[in-house]
Amino acid sequence: MDVTTNIQQAAAAAVKDHYGVEIDPQILQVQETRKDFEGDFTLVVFPLAKYRLGAPHIVGEALGKLLVERLDFISSYNVIKGFLNLSLTDAFWVNFLSTSHQNPAFLQNTEGKGQSIVVEFCSPNTNKPLHLGHLRNIVLGNSLSHILEANGFEVHPVCLYNDRGTAICKSMYAWQLAGKNDSPASTGKKGDLFVGDYYVAFSDMLKKQKAELMAQGMDEKAAEKAAECSQAINEMLIQWEAGDPGIRALWKQMNDYVYEAHANTFKRLGVTFEKFYYESEEYEKGKDAVLKGLEEGLFYRKEDNSVWVDLEEAKLDQKLLLRSNGTSIYITQDLGVADQKHADFNMQKSVYVVGSEQDYHFKVLFELLKKMEKPYSDGLFHLSYGLVELPDGRMKSREGTVVETDDLIEEVRETVAKVTGESEKIDGLSDEELTVLLDQLALGAIKFFLIKVDPRKGMIFNPEESVQLQGHTGPYVQYAHARTRSLIQKAADNELPAFQAGAQLEEPLHTSERELLLKLFGYKHALAEAARNYNPAEIANYVYELAQSYSSFFANCRVIQQDKPHTSSFRLALSTFTGVVMKASLKLLGIEAPEKM
RNA sequence: GGUCCCAUAGCUCAAUUGGAUAGAGCAACUGCCUUCUAAGCAGUAGGUUCCAGGUUCGAGUCCUGGUGGGAUCACCA
């Protein structure tokens, strides 16, 4: 049994024996003792107030005394107001380390066993490169997938490509007009950039044509519709729908350029998807589901033949599901894709990592799926994240303020190279190893930066300052990990006794050793909470605190000491284990843990 | 206008989901590399947690009402 529940139950039993009152052990929360107070775990006594057992500090005293008597792993206690601080024996911690440090099960939770869960993320358009906003999405989705997996879930990461519609037609049209014979190969541009440039070219064209029409007195909306290039796009869309071979071939060509480029970026980021869905293949699939719902009386048809659903009960509006001409809209497609996922993976839960601007959309979608009584409708979750903004506002592709993924990685990599170049620690590395290291550190910095913030919140990205290598950063954690590895190297030169259960140390545990052990002890809880809340930021903060505790330990406690072999081997095991937990935690964030840096 | 989200140190963010004296990093200042990696450690300084009420043993966290910022409300996706 877990110590904290052990303490809870023992405390509840003590209350019963001492006061004759039966209480629910759950109300007695046990938490890590705050720094500045003596102790390891704290039992909060205040909730007992409603049983009128006496002043909280007196109740705390009584319980503390009983707990020390009854639980052999508690060495002492102190009470401050209604907080009962308990110190555990050194033997307990030595035992904790010996049972955990080589136990693979320590890194794995089992809550999700037997449950299948689909995580959809990234979901890009095919008309431009991936930018910082996508990157936050990808990094969050990827990390969430790892976290769920570590909690025992059977995870299926998928990506839905928005590969059809007006956006890609714009690039196609601009290419027809201007480029014709150009390709990524002929221009030496990465495919997504290549297609994106034509998209921008189209925007400029439209802007110009609109301005001309508005100068003739047309209002903005009408001008947008009437512009020659808008008309051409509509025509192209109709041809695409009709399956025009020329248009389809061009469409496929443009998309393929982008897929190849994106695949490259994914690879560089270390992200994999189990399956890609394509809007062009899925967008008609929701129709049948809607028609079936119509038959069952869940939806209704208006005179003009459009199909609607009434969601006013859920405080949402009347929503359109099928156009009057019978075609699908965005939400219809999502209904279809949801069923397709279920057919593919038979999931109980389904997570969508999508920006917060679509909160309303997902409320509607989830309400609809519930109404249709889908088997997975209880397990739906929208991991909604805020915008990434620049110090002077939103990124705008037209103004050239978009921070592109590949550029960003390159830029950070250069900074890392500079710092690394000044260090002698990497002397033994080959050029190839150095390249790998720089990538690991640059990506570590970027990913950590994007994950550490609560996803719900918008965040500000300052190109000059944001991605640092010191302090609350990925490289800080990576550095702490590298230190654990370097210690092991050093220790190999010394002959230390093997660390084992019941080892007698030459000196009592240092405060920073206790803090570190307490942090390690908290790993399972952090892992479980991150999954329960679908929040990778909790892992980022956990591993940062772990690295802090280790760095402090490293500065305060000498590990290898000739005259104290048992303390040495204990500390070495502690370091090794910390390294293992840090590496596993970083892995959950999609970050590599280098051996040397 | 309706709905939803956000507001914490100069800046970027935390706060174990209602618990102790609100904590980290950056920036500033002070110390520490001739035994394990200084991308580090230890310290100083920095706060009316947007405002006003309420709930209770206890509020940054919950409720009500404001203020400010963002998003959204298409037969777009």
* Closest-approach nucleotide to residue A361, Cα vs C1': B72
Say what the pLDDT of residue A59 is: 94
Residues 6+ apart with CB under 8 A from A328: A283, A284, A286, A287, A322, A336
* Closest-approach nucleotide to residue A363, Cα vs C1': B4
Please give the residue range of the domain that contains residue A581.
Answer: 405-588
Window 405-464 of chain A: CB closer than 7 A to strand B: 416, 419-420, 423, 425-426, 441, 452-454, 456-460, 462
Say what the pLDDT of residue A404 is: 87
Report the number of distinct structural domains present in chain A. 3
Is the domain of A44 the same as that of A155?
A: no
3 state SS for A78-91: EEECCEEEEEECHH
- Strand, helix or coil for residue A415: helix
For residue A263, being part of any structural domain is answered with yes
Window 355-384 of chain A: CB closer than 7 A to strand B: 356-361
DSSP result, A475-509: HHHHHHHHHHHHHHHHHTTS--PPP-TT---SSPP
Buried b vs exposed e over A265-283: b needs ≥16 C-beta within 10 Å?
Answer: bbeebebebeeebbbbebb
For residue A567, being part of any structural domain is answered with yes
Q: Are A125 and A543 in contact (CB under 8 A)?
A: no
Domain boundary (A35, A64, A88) is at A88
Give the distance, in angstroms, between residue A533 CA and nucleotide B60 C1': 20
Q: With 0-12 CB in 10 A as exposed, 13-18 as middle and 19+ as buried, what is A460?
A: middle
Which CATH number do you get for residue A42? Answer: 3.30.1360.70
Is the domain of A60 the same as that of A149?
A: no
Copy the structure tokens of residue A551.
């760095």
Strand B atom within 7 Å of A115 CB:
no
Is the domain of A221 the same as that of A310?
A: yes
Say what the pLDDT of residue A393 is: 72
* Closest-approach nucleotide to residue A305, Cα vs C1': B75
Which region holds residue A504: left if phi is over 0, alpha if psi is between -120 and 50, else beta? beta
3 state SS for A116-157: EEEEECCCCECCCCCEHHHHHHHHHHHHHHHHHHHCCCEEEE
Give the distance, in angstroms, between residue A527 CA and nucleotide B28 C1': 37
Strand B atom within 7 Å of A534 CB:
no
Strand B atom within 7 Å of A241 CB:
no
Amino acid at A567: T
How would you write the pLDDT of chain A (597 residues) with one tens digit per residue?
A: 689 999 999 999 999 999 999 998 888 989 999 988 999 999 999 999 888 888 999 999 999 999 999 999 999 999 998 999 999 999 999 999 999 999 999 999 999 999 999 999 998 989 888 988 899 999 999 999 999 999 999 999 999 999 988 889 999 999 999 867 789 999 999 999 999 999 989 988 998 898 888 888 888 778 888 889 999 998 998 899 889 999 999 999 999 999 999 999 999 999 999 999 999 998 888 888 899 999 998 999 998 999 999 888 777 888 999 988 888 888 999 999 999 999 999 999 999 999 999 999 999 999 999 999 999 999 999 999 998 887 777 777 666 778 889 899 999 999 999 888 877 777 778 889 999 999 999 999 999 999 999 998 888 887 767 788 999 999 999 999 999 999 999 888 777 888 888 888 999 999 999 999 999 999 999 999 999 999 999 999 999 999 999 999 999 999 999 889 999 999 999 999 999 999 999 999 999 999 999
Is the domain of A158 the same as that of A135?
A: yes
Strand B atom within 7 Å of A498 CB:
no
Strand B atom within 7 Å of A36 CB:
yes
Strand B atom within 7 Å of A281 CB:
no
CA A425/CA A482 separation, integer angstroms: 11
CA A340/CA A331 separation, integer angstroms: 14
Say what the pLDDT of residue A218 is: 82
Say what the pLDDT of residue A325 is: 85
Q: Are A25 and A8 in contact (CB under 8 A)?
A: yes
- Strand, helix or coil for residue A321: strand
Is the domain of A289 the same as that of A222?
A: yes
Which pTM was predicted? 0.95
Give the distance, in angstroms, between residue A368 CA and nucleotide B2 C1': 21
Q: Report DSSP state, residue A177.
A: I
Is the domain of A250 the same as that of A330?
A: yes
Residues 6+ apart with CB under 8 A from A556: A510, A511, A512
Give the distance, in angstroms, between residue A427 CA and nucleotide B49 C1': 48
Strand B atom within 7 Å of A82 CB:
yes
Q: Are A90 and A509 in contact (CB under 8 A)?
A: yes
For residue A340, being part of any structural domain is answered with yes
For residue A113, being part of any structural domain is answered with no
Say what the pLDDT of residue A225 is: 83
Domain boundary (A362, A378, A399) is at A399
Say what the pLDDT of residue A398 is: 66
Give the distance, in angstroms, between residue A252 CA and nucleotide B38 C1': 55
Residues 6+ apart with CB under 8 A from A277: A158, A159, A160, A161, A337, A340
Which CATH number do you get for residue A301? Answer: 3.40.50.620
* Closest-approach nucleotide to residue A572, Cα vs C1': B36
Say what the pLDDT of residue A553 is: 97
For residue A115, being part of any structural domain is answered with no
Q: Report DSSP state, residue A41.
A: E
* Closest-approach nucleotide to residue A575, Cα vs C1': B36
Is the domain of A508 the same as that of A415?
A: yes
For residue A595, being part of any structural domain is answered with no
Kind plus residue range of the DSSP H or E element containing A160: strand A154-161
Q: With 0-12 CB in 10 A as exposed, 13-18 as middle and 19+ as buried, what is A529?
A: middle
- Tell how strand A41-44 and strand A30-32 pair up: antiparallel
Q: In terms of Cα–Cα distance, which of A156, A122, A154 is closest to A140? A: A122
Q: Give me the numbers of helices (H) and strands (E) for chain A, helices first please.
A: 21, 14
Is the domain of A329 the same as that of A202?
A: yes
Copy the structure tokens of residue A48.
């007992």
Copy the structure tokens of residue A142.
């990827």
CA A92/CA A41 separation, integer angstroms: 13
Q: In terms of Cα–Cα distance, which of A406, A437, A535 is closest to A135? A: A406
Say what the pLDDT of residue A179 is: 67
Which CATH number do you get for residue A505? Answer: 1.10.730.10
Largest CA-CA distance found in chain A, in angstroms, rounded: 92
Strand B atom within 7 Å of A249 CB:
no
Q: Are A453 and A459 in contact (CB under 8 A)?
A: yes
Give the distance, in angstroms, between residue A165 CA and nucleotide B77 C1': 8
Beta strands in A338-394 (DSSP E): 349-355, 380-385, 388-389
Strand B atom within 7 Å of A334 CB:
no
Task: Report the DSSP beta bridge partners of residue A354.
Answer: A384
Is the domain of A143 the same as that of A165?
A: yes
For residue A96, being part of any structural domain is answered with no
Domain boundary (A47, A71, A88) is at A88
* Closest-approach nucleotide to residue A44, Cα vs C1': B19
Is the domain of A301 the same as that of A164?
A: yes
* Closest-approach nucleotide to residue A479, Cα vs C1': B39
Token look-up 């993976």 returns A345
Say what the pLDDT of residue A141 is: 97
Window 291-310 of chain A: CB closer than 7 A to strand B: 302, 304, 306
For residue A284, being part of any structural domain is answered with yes
Is the domain of A51 the same as that of A191?
A: no
Is the domain of A160 the same as that of A65?
A: no
* Closest-approach nucleotide to residue A568, Cα vs C1': B36
Protein-contacted bases of chain B (C-beta within 7 A): 2-7, 11-17, 19-21, 24-27, 35-42, 57-58, 70-77
